[in-house]
Amino acid sequence: MWTTVGHEAAVELLDNSLRNDRLSHAYLFVGPAQVGKMTLAINLAQALNCEKDDKPCGACSSCQRIMGLKHADVQVIDLSGKTEVSIDQIRELERYASLKPFEGKSRVFIIDNADFMSSEAANCLLKTLEEPPPFVYMILLSTSEKAILSTILSRCQKLELRPIAISAIEGALIERYGTKPEDAHVLARLSSGCMGWAVQTSVNADAILHRKELIETLVNIAKADRLEKFSYSANMASKFSKNRAEVQKLLSLWISLWRDLLLIKGNCREIITNIDHQETLFREEVYYDIIDIRNFIFCLIHAGMLLKNNANPRLVLDVLILGMPKRKGC
């Protein structure tokens, strides 16, 4: 049984290809972080090595070992933040790929964050992609195909995994993970269609508390005086030098809050994201004009892009703070 939640078209395509013995030896799964790329890749690795007729059964020894990442013929290689060593990992992969499967039927290599692959490593991988041994399958996972070399892209079958329906996430959280319905309702809405995020957050009380604290800070900073605002931007800039991803996540959360204000202003309360903070948002909305809210959302998006392009973080975040709309009557 394919355990992937949503992504029905991708599952159907892979299942049909498997049954008709027409699977490609190289796939590229593209989609947002935690949308389900890894789960689908693990499912495919299970299907390729399953011992039962109805593949992947999820219950046989092979399926279980692959799920636990303990199968000798299925390797997950995560390249995130390791550009400088990725060439060694790919060379190691090449060596394993030339060996016959040790305990299963197929050797499967899942390369996570493939967009981090150096061009040297990508060129090395090309050799296997061009003439894969019949028992070797490569599954590359990436949030963006733009960063993947065109020579690699042209040798992979691309499957795009888009955010899945909120109702599907809510149902899966309740049925498969035993999440309380009221928590599942909120988490599904916050997940942006990414099942992995919802599952991970549902069992991480710290993450939920951390998000609550961040939202409170972001709401308070809108009310703060100029000095406090600049102190906050300085703090964010210093955090950025230690953990870029954390600050980008904070910007995404900030955008989601102002997007909710925009939706409330436009009488679309029922589709806001941060429903667990709706009372605060309903209260704050009256202090802003719709045009100011829209402009600040653009400022937040622009700041995120500038930071990605290595602009000076202190300058970007100071300008962002200066662009915050003034609360009416304050």
**Measured from the CB atom, is 50 or 172 closer to Zn ion?**
50
Stretch that binds Zn ion, among 20-28, 53-61, 187-195, 229-237 (CB under 5 A): 53-61
CB of 74 to Zn ion, least distance (A): 13
Binding residues for Zn ion, total number by CB under 5 A = 5
| 23 touches 30 (CB < 8 A) | no
63 lines the binding site for Zn ion (CB under 5 A): yes
Out of 57, 76, 250, 306, name the contact with Zn ion by CB under 5 A: 57
Residue whose token pair is 């955010």: 163
DSSP state of 137: E
Handedness of CA 253, 258, 262, 263 (dihedral sign): positive
60 lines the binding site for Zn ion (CB under 5 A): yes
The whole-angstrom separation of Cα 100 and Cα 113 is 26
**Measured from the CB atom, is 47 or 152 closer to Zn ion?**
47
Site for Zn ion in 23-52 (CB under 5 A): 50, 52
Phi, psi of 78 (to 5 degrees): -105, 120
**Measured from the CB atom, is 61 or 238 closer to Zn ion?**
61
For residue 116, what are the CA distances in angstroms to 142, 193, 268?
Answer: 9, 24, 39
CB of 136 to Zn ion, least distance (A): 20
138 lines the binding site for Zn ion (CB under 5 A): no
Residues sharing a CB contact under 8 Å with residue 92, sequence separation 6 or more, in sequence order: none
Token output for 13:
């395509």
Stretch that binds Zn ion, among 60-68, 113-121, 192-200, 308-316 (CB under 5 A): 60-68
**Residues at the contact surface with Zn ion, assessed by CB under 5 A:** 50, 52, 57, 60, 63
